[in-house]
């Protein structure tokens, strides 16, 4: 598992190479009454893709992405990683919006929503999802799309780990020239307020091609800093104009925004987020990012336990995400202005409690600024109530769907919708 905190011992690990194997594994698990974990990229933050004593159906041998350049679609097998989807789509000048660390699994990311640097231009990953093939709890291979099993398709887009084992995903692709303008710039923490003001202005006045994030961060053993990242997928001259104010702010401690291949940008976080560290996070959607909240973030950044690295990250939301009606998918939180998370990483097990406590306290102070919904893929606690993630009405609709497709709750290692 990616998260070093998720240390479990399944009785059996099955590595299918084909959907028929998935059906056979699931039938066996049901006959033997085994707890079932389903694994793609293994990046579940609470470790939901493994278990003690049960069976892990690990799709890591079902990888590969086929692109149809004429139809502008991609079909990704259920165990694929983001890097494969990015590389295959870019090989013909196309793209599907996905997350920012290329070793994350396509399945887990997509079934929860899928945030990333192209989200203001092209929406969440689920907003580009055309169809899913999945093995259901009763061992059938079914397809869900807008035309086939459309209610299931609604639930798969945001609560998808609850309804079956996805063996393939079909995505719509969009053109993307290979080069984007991208970078992260670090500034002294004392300038966090001014930097946040520039970030807000960039979000409010910038085009959908521009995605930005603002953060305050304490590196292990170092002084906390303020940071801003930007990713512009429009023409280079337009990017230069749209990023001029952020670029001019300073002098920075380090960093700049530069033209680089999209695929290079997609790998830049891979090492910092490598496998095996201990990790905890909490996130929220925000209606605003006032100075008061920036000040709170600065205070908490100074309290990150010694030996850990952690801080807040705030992403520009809106654009194409807000263009999709809230009811169109199970995902909840489209009307937010920002997404904010407190994230912390460490290696020493003796720090487990203090690091978790840090993140919890950090996000408790954020709650007065929260808007509706919660991103299911960021929920670190296995027992978060689904109503807080999806709201009451959608949670009810999901329960009805769960009763129809998985009445025995075979798929319960997820943020569980109980039948």
Ligand X SMILES: Cc1cc2nc3c(=O)[nH]c(=O)nc-3n(C[C@H](O)[C@H](O)[C@H](O)COP(=O)(O)OP(=O)(O)OC[C@H]3O[C@@H](n4cnc5c(N)ncnc54)[C@H](O)[C@@H]3O)c2cc1C
Tell me the closest approach of the beta carbon of residue 415 to ligand X, in angstroms. 8
Least distance from C-beta 135 to ligand X, angstroms?
A: 8
Taking the complex as a whole, the smallest distance from the CB of residue 273 to ligand X amounts, in Å, to 4
CB 120 within 8 A of CB 148: no
Torsion (CA) 145, 62, 413, 382 in degrees, nearest 10 = -100
User: In terms of C-beta density within 10 A (0-12 exposed, 13-18 middle, 19 or more buried), how is residue 25 classed?
Assistant: buried
Nearer Cβ to ligand X, position 112 or 234? Answer: 112
Smallest distance, ligand X to C-beta of residue 127, A: 12
Closest alpha carbon to 358 in 309, 314, 313: 309
The smaller minimum CB distance to ligand X, of residues 14 and 100, is found at 100
When the beta carbons of 41 and 305 are compared against ligand X, the nearer one is 41
Structure tokens belonging to residue 191: 């300038």
CB of 169 to ligand X, least distance (A): 9
Give the separation between CA 105 and CA 114, rounded to whole angstroms.
11
Instruction: Using the minimum distance from each CB to ligand X, give the nearer residue, 101 or 296.
Output: 101
Nearer to ligand X, 48 or 297 (CB): 48
Structure-derived torsion over alpha carbons of residues 338, 285, 289, 277, reported in degrees to the nearest 10: -90
Please identify the residue of the shown chain whose CB is closest to the bound ligand X: 108
Phi, psi (deg, nearest 5) at residue 285: -95, 145
Report the C-alpha gap between 153 and 98 in whole angstroms.
Answer: 19
- In order of 156, 308, 353, 355, the CA distances from 350 in angstroms are 38, 11, 8, 10
Q: Which is nearer to ligand X, 231 or 394 (CB)?
A: 231
Question: Taking the complex as a whole, how short is the minimal distance between the CB of residue 202 and ligand X, in angstroms?
Answer: 19
Instruction: Write down the least CB distance from residue 406 to ligand X, Å.
Output: 11
Distance CA 39, CA 311 (A): 28
Smallest gap, in angstroms, from Cβ of residue 299 to ligand X?
26
**Least Cβ distance, residue 106 to ligand X (angstroms):** 7
CB atoms within 10 A of CB 320: 18
The least distance separating ligand X from the CB of residue 71, rounded to whole angstroms, comes to 23
Give CA–CA dist 303/350, Å, rounded.
Answer: 17
**Identity of the residue, 115 or 210, whose beta carbon is nearer to ligand X in the bound complex:** 115
Judged by the rule CB under 6 A, the positions of this chain that interact with ligand X are: 2, 37-45, 48-49, 59, 78, 99-101, 104-105, 107-109, 111-116, 161, 165-166, 273, 377, 413-414
Query: DSSP secondary structure string, 121-149?
Result: HH--GGGGEEEEEEE-TTS-EEEEESSSS
- Residue 414, number of CB atoms within 10 A of its CB: 24
Q: What is the token pair recorded at 10?
A: 């399944």
Q: Which one, 135 or 189, has the nearer CB to ligand X?
A: 135
Smaller CB separation from ligand X, 99 or 319: 99
In whole angstroms, what is the distance from residue 417 CA to residue 162 CA?
Answer: 7
- Residue (131 or 189) nearer to ligand X, CB: 131
The neighbour count for residue 291, using CB atoms within 10 Å, is 13
Q: How far apart are CA 267 and CA 255, in angstroms?
A: 17
Length of the chain in residues, anyone? Answer: 419
Q: Which of 168, 162, 216 is nearest to 376 (CA)?
A: 162
């Amino acid at each position: 598992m990616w998260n070093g905190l998720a240390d479990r011992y399944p009785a059996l690990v099955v590595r299918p190479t084909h959907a028929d194997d998935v059906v056979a594994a699931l039938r066996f698990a049901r006959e033997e009454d085994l707890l079932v974990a389903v694994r793609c990229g293994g990046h579940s933050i609470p470790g939901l893709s493994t278990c003690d004593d049960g069976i892990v159906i690990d799709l890591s041998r079902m990888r590969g992405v086929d692109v149809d350049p004429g139809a502008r679609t991609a079909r990704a097998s259920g165990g694929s990683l983001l890097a494969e989807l990015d590389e295959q789509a870019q090989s013909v000048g196309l793209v599907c919006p996905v997350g920012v660390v290329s070793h994350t699994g396509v399945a887990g990311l997509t079934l929860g929503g899928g945030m990333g640097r192209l989200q203001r231009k092209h929406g969440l990953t689920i907003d580009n999802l055309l169809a899913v093939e999945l093995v259901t709890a009763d061992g059938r291979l079914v397809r869900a799309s807008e035309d086939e099993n459309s209610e299931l398709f609604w639930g798969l887009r945001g609560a998808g780990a609850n309804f079956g084992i996805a063996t393939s995903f079909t995505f719509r692709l969009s053109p993307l020239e290979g080069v984007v303008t991208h970078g992260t710039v670090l500034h002294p923490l004392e300038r966090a307020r001014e930097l946040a003001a520039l970030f807000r202005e960039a979000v409010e006045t910038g085009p959908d091609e521009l995605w930005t994030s603002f953060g305050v961060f304490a590196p292990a053993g170092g002084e906390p800093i303020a940071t801003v990242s930007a990713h512009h997928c429009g023409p280079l001259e337009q990017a230069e104009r749209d990023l001029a104010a952020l670029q001019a702010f300073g002098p920075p401690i380090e960093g700049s925004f530069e033209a680089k291949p999209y695929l290079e940008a997609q790998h830049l976080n891979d090492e910092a987020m490598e496998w095996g560290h201990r990790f905890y996070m909490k996130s929220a959607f925000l209606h605003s990012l006032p100075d008061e909240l920036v000040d709170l973030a600065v205070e908490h950044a100074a309290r990150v336990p010694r030996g850990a690295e952690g801080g807040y990250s705030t992403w520009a939301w809106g654009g194409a995400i807000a263009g999709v009606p809230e009811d169109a998918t199970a995902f909840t939180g489209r009307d937010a202005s920002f997404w904010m998370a407190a994230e912390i990483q460490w290696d020493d097990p003796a720090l487990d409690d203090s690091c978790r406590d840090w993140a919890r306290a950090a996000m408790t102070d954020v709650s007065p600024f929260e808007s509706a919904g919660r991103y299911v893929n960021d929920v670190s606690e296995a027992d978060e109530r689904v109503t807080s993630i999806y709201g009451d009405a959608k949670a009810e609709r999901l329960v009805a769907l769960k009763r129809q497709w998985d009445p025995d709750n075979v798929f319960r290692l997820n943020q569980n919708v109980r039948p």
